[in-house]
Copies of this chain bind each other. A is one copy, B any other.
Amino acid sequence: MFSQINPQLIRNLEKLGLTENEAKAYVGLVCLREATAREIHELTTVPRAKIYEILKVLAKKGYLEFRQGSPTYFRAVDPKQVIGKIKDEFLNCATQTLDQLNELSYELPKTSPVWCIQSEWGIKNRIREILDGVREELIIFSSSPEFLQEFEAELKKLEKTCRLIIIVDELGKFRSLPFEFRETTEEFKDFINNIVIDGAQYNEELFMIADGKESIGVHNAGNKREAVVIRLPIVCYLQKMIYDRVLEPGFIKKDR
Contact = CB atoms under 8 A, between A and B. Distances in A.
A27 B75 contact: no
Number of copies of this chain in the oligomer?
Answer: 2
Interface residues of A, number: 66
Nearest to A66: B116
A117 B62 contact: yes
Lowest 9 A-B CB distances belong to which pairs?
A: A62-B119, A62-B122, A79-B101, A65-B115, A12-B97, A62-B121, A83-B98, A9-B100, A59-B118
Contacts of A30: 101, 104-105, 108
Nearest to A6: B100
Interface stretch (A88-96, A154-162, A166-174, A237-245): A88-96
A115 B76 contact: no
Interface of A: 5-6, 8-9, 12-13, 15-17, 27, 30-31, 33-34, 59-63, 65-68, 73, 75-81, 83, 85-87, 90-91, 93-98, 100-102, 104-105, 108-112, 114-123, 125-126, 229
